[in-house]
Structure 1
Amino acid sequence: MDPRGITPNTSNQQLVINGDNDSATALLQEKQARRHNSLREVTFSQYMTVSILCFVNLINYMDRLTIAGVLNNVKTEFEIGDGKAGFLQTVFVVAYMLFAPIFGYLGDRYSRRVIMASGVALWSLTTFFGSFLHDYESFAFFRGLVGIGEASYSTIAPTIISDLFVGDVRSKMLAFFYFAIPVGSGLGYIVGSVVGAALGNWRYGLRVTPFFGAIAVALIIWVMEDPERGASEESHIKPTSYKDDLRALIKNPSFMLSTIAFTCVAFVTGALTWWGPQVIYLGLGLQPGNEFSFESVSYKFGLVGMAAGALGVPLGCAAAARARPLVADADPLLCGAALLLSAPLVFCALIAVRASAAGTFALIFFGMLTLNLTWSVVADMILYVVIPPRRSTAEAFQILISHMFGDAGSPYLVGVISESLKSYLMPSPDDLPSKSVEFRALQYALFITCFVEVLGGIFFLITSAYIVRDKLKVDRAIAEAEAQHTEPSHASAHEDIVAGE
């Protein structure tokens, strides 16, 4: 028989049987690349799903930072200092991070639609009813309940996008999703300051997002698509136990190192978004002839944050997409460079605040822009170095770590350092702190963010040494699972790969 008449067998099953795992992985990647390789191939239902997720993410971050836009009014009404003011954000983030692993576990095993709708309903109701409370302790408690509701959404939403798309389309959709974070944060400042000032009571600013939350619940229940886990990659990997999931994540160097680096991003973001308007307000007030209200500073800070996010998130996504074909470990290198560039910009902004309002906001813009370059890129890294049935758990684990050591404590830590420095900077301990002392204490406390940014940049650079290898391991695990699905005799090889990640 003429050998040229024999058709080569290039099925995944035969490739794995022959031990050619690299070829099986390449075939799988080629097949994934053909699926939704262009935005033109995305269906209307998928666009609607991503739009709904983006909308909920927008109001999610609006709700988180509405209080920051009226922080001066909150401090005045409750008669609290910087420490307790920072604790309002800390109690929210602590509840958020503690419940994230629970929702991550549920999100990998049960209906994501039900979990998300219940969570959005919870934080909308607690935000609304909390706005009527008049004692500090109850108000802080309700902020914690808001954090529980928001944890249910944030751990699950990125995994739905992951199950709808692969490759560059997934990166673009994640950029669209994370685009809502800085824009929503900026809107939070604006809504809090504008609505509160217009209606004469800061509490009305907190009552805006709950109405949008009710709309979001309806959209999640009746419109949003909830694909099967691993659908975009045609993954047949079966879920493992929660213990095995955690063990595999801890042994995954790309996941752990990028999580530590992202913790630094969260620390800086939490401190700057909470205290940024306050330090600018105090610094500009020391300039001769300047008369700024806190509401106007919050409004401008929100606009700057929105602009930086609107440009930074898609710019980071586009830069990573262009660099990946040229440099295999481009994602962590880009994130590391972004943080190392952001650190001196933030430092200069804190120095310039007493000299120039325009210069301060310009430096804040570029400092936040470079910080925002990392958001969608980090999210993409987490998804492609973790197997599909483990991704909600991975998101939850990252939320727990990044918030526990990041923005859960950074607003409170900066507030406590500021309060401690006031007594050191005052000529006499019995005197009330002057505006100059208040500004310098908060300015010095915020300098810690620059050091943390440099630390995060270093961890991202270390991640680049492992990212290619860990991504390949996930691709191989998916290829093995597909082969085992068609040829059950290869189950043991697949189980070894999944359990030994």
Structure 2
Amino acid sequence: MAEAASTSPSSTNPSWFSPQRLLVIFCIINMINYVDRGAIASNGVNGSLGTCSESGTCTSGSGIQGDFNLDNFEDGVLSSAFMVGLLIASPIFASIAKRINPFRLIGVGLSVWTAAVIGCGFSFDFWSIAICRMFVGVGEASFISLAAPFIDDNAPIDQKTAWLAIFYMCIPTGYALGYIYGGLVGSHLNWRFAFFGEAILMIPFAFLGFIMKPLQLKGFAPRESSKAQTAIETVGIETQDVEVKNDDLSTKHEARGKHSNKSAQSGVSYSLEHFSDFLRDMRVLLSEKVYVVNVLGSVAYNFVLGAYSYWGPKAGYSIYNMRNADYIFGGITVVCGIFGTLAGGFVLDYMNSTIPNAFKLVSAATFAGAICCFTAFCFKNMYPFLVLFAIGELLVFATQGPVNFINLHCVKPSLRALSMAMATVSIHIFGDVPSSPLVGVLQDYVNNWRETALILTAILFPAAGIWFIGIFLRSVDRFNEDSESRLIETDGSNTTPLLEENPAETTDDAR
């Protein structure tokens, strides 16, 4: 049976499916996700309320805000609504990834995402679009929590942070392209067409999740192997019982009844067992001080970036009278996002990718970036603002790769999907979910975008301080900690990354 498993058709990888192609596919999907977030924040799609002058001359509103007559708080809720679905679904997807192949879960998630984005295009009031945005988050949850572990599995050892940086580079790039895309679609067509276009781009990748040969995450034993082994053992036992008791029909029926009761009981115990596993994993995760400190720093960091990404174009338009705020902010974000994120990954690899070095890099980059961004908003002239703000964004985006390197390497491989999911839940529920509505409320109160921007930017300083604490914590890189024991539980197919180790080396390591 072992020979049959090793020679089955499912145990070979498609010749064209390489680690590089996996990275490219995930990068494109990630970029489309963030194009959606940038588009809904752009002036072209988000729009503005209608206004009336003192003379009584009124102009109609535009975009989502104008069509649905939303105040700043309701408008800010739209940017955060998809997070509700993301927060609920992320730990669920991460948990069931131990029983259902993660690659198929990504296909399910992207299908939900596509349907929800189409629903946004057909929305007719605040609640209809808010509910659709929630389902956008549900669809994105599977991809967000599972993509990074896949990439970390298959990246070359000396380029892991660089590969993660390339993947997370798509966040600012997607946002920036979303600003530009939303501005173009909103000015030439209708804001609804922006959502339809995103859905068309995502459909091929949703299908790809179902038709591609499934891959297994490092440290996860696929359910199929244990089910198959259990089934073989059960069949063998039942066959022996039938041969021994062939003449006793009543006894056989009694055995079947007991077997049926045992199956029902085992189903309940199976669910309870996995729930117990989830709680145990959560206790282990929350007891890891390095992980907790990293997430706390990320919460403060994402509180600022979430509000920047949503309110940036409007603030720029108001403070500096930027007529093309979508394109200016989009251009700055895409350039600084690409170079900053890549620089962070490559610098950490150059420094030697360790958890203390990652903390040093993110704390220093965030502190310097905070100084630049805060100073930028103090200038009344637009050009000094643009220069300093660009430098600040360059530094701030350098944290993306190192932060996620810490999340992936401070826990055992079997906990990486859950660590990414819970980090995502935490930074959103305490970070960018409340930041957009709260900044909207603050702006309604102070009615001065410069003051609002300065108050918001100041939160980057505590983020840098929290990450600075992480430098002094005892840390252990657990990337290979339980891989051996987990691989023993598998059936030998689809359980190793695309960059497979040399069998001889693996055997030596096991010894």
Cα distance between partner residues in 2 of 1:403 and 1:76: 27
Counting only pairs closer than 5 Å after superposition, residues 6-155 of structure 1 correspond to structure 2 as 45-69=18-42, 70-72=45-47, 73-155=63-145
The aligned counterpart of 1:273 is 309
What are the residue-to-residue correspondences of 1:369-388 with 2, within 5 Å?
369-388=394-413
Which 5+ residue runs of structure 2 have no aligned equivalent? 1-14, 48-62, 221-273, 491-511
CA contact (8 A) 2:219 2:482 kept: no
CA change 1:328–1:54 in 2 (3 A) is closer
- Change in Cα spacing, 1:278 to 1:48, as seen in structure 2 (3 Å) is same
CA contact (8 A) 1:55 1:216 kept: no
Residue of 343, 356, 374 corresponding to 1:315: 343
8 Å contact from structure 1 (residues 301, 361) kept in 2: no
Partners of 2:445 and 2:277 lie apart in 1 by: 46
Match of 2:192 among 180, 197, 203: 203
Q: Does the alignment pair 1:460 with 2:467?
A: yes
1:340 aligns with 2:367: yes
* Residue deviations 1:444-474 (CA, integer Å, cap 9, x gap): 223233222111111111111225x332x56
C-alpha distance in 2 between matches for 1:407 and 1:464: 25
Mapped to 2, the partners of 1:88 and 1:99 lie a distance apart of 18
- AA partner of residue 310 (structure 1): I
Equivalent residue for 2:286? 250
Deviation of 1:484 (Å): 12
Instruction: Tell me if the contact between 2:295 and 2:426 (Cα under 8 Å) persists in the aligned partners.
Output: yes
Sort the Cα spacing of 1:224 and 1:66 in 2 relative to 1 into closer, same or farther, 3 A: farther
8 A Cα contact 2:219 2:487, kept in partner: no
User: Which one-letter code corresponds to 1:348 in the other structure?
Assistant: T
Q: What residue in structure 2 maps to residue 470 of structure 1? A: 476
Amino acid at match of 2:155: F
Distance 1:196 1:117 in 2: 30
Q: Deviations over 1:210-267 (max 9, x none)?
A: 1111011133333476234239xxxxxxx98111110111110111100111112211
* CA distance 1:79–1:321, shift in 2 (3 Å): same
Deviations 1:153-210 (A, max 9, x none): 10111111122235323222211211111111111111111122122x2222222111
What are the superposed Cα offsets for residues 403-459 of structure 1, whole Å, 9 maximum, x if unpaired? Answer: 11100110011001111223xxxxxxxxxxxxxxxxx2x322232332221111111
Query: Hey, what does 1:451 align to over in structure 2?
Result: 458
Say if 1:68 and 1:254 are closer, same or farther in 2 by CA, change over 3 A: same
* CA-CA distance at 1:85 after TM superposition: 0.8
How far apart are the structure 2 equivalents of 1:94 and 1:180? 22
Report the structure number with the largest CA radius of gyration.
2
CA deviation map 1:301-328 (0-9, x unaligned) = 1111110111011100111111127x87
1:52 aligns to what SS in structure 2? helix
Q: Tell me the residue number matched to 1:408.
A: 433
Give the match for residue 217 of structure 1.
Answer: 206
Structure 2 distance, partners of 1:443, 1:108, is 48
Structure 1 position 178 matched with structure 2 position 204: no
Partner residue in 2 for 1:29:
none
Native 8 Å contact 1:174 1:380 kept in 2: yes
TM-score under structure 1 length normalisation: 0.76
Contact 1:62 1:187 in 2 (8 A): yes
Contact 1:68 1:189 (C-alpha < 8 Å) held by counterparts: yes
* Whole-Å separation in 2 of the counterparts to 1:94 and 1:228: 26
Partner of 2:421: 396
What residue in structure 2 maps to residue 303 of structure 1?
Answer: 331
8 Å CA contact retained: 2:118, 2:195: yes
SS of residue in 2 equivalent to 1:329: helix
- Indicate the RMSD between aligned Cα atoms, in angstroms: 2.4
* Superposition deviation, residue 350 in structure 1: 2.0
The answer to whether the 8 A contact 1:49-1:223 is kept is: no
1:419 paired to 2:392: no
| Aligned residue type for 1:57 | N
Q: For residues 53-106 of structure 1, give each alpha carbon's deviation from its aligned partner in whole angstroms, at most 9, with x where no partner exists.
A: 111001011112211013223222221221111111122222212221111112
Q: Distance in 2 between matches of 1:274 and 1:120?
A: 23
Partners of 1:65 and 1:185 within 8 A in 2: yes
In the aligned structure 2, how far is the partner of 1:108 from the partner of 1:299?
43
Check conservation: 1:124, 1:213, Cα contact below 8 A: yes
**Helix, strand or coil for the counterpart of 1:409?**
helix
Change (3 A) 1:253 1:157: same
- 2:387 aligned with 1:362: yes
- Paired residue secondary structure (2:459): helix
Length, aligned pairs only: 405
Change (3 A) 1:482 1:223: closer
> Partners of 1:95 and 1:475 in 2: how far apart?
32
Misfit runs of 4+, over 4 Å: 473-485
Deviation at 1:142, TM superposition (A): 1.0
Q: Does 1:194 align with 2:177?
A: no
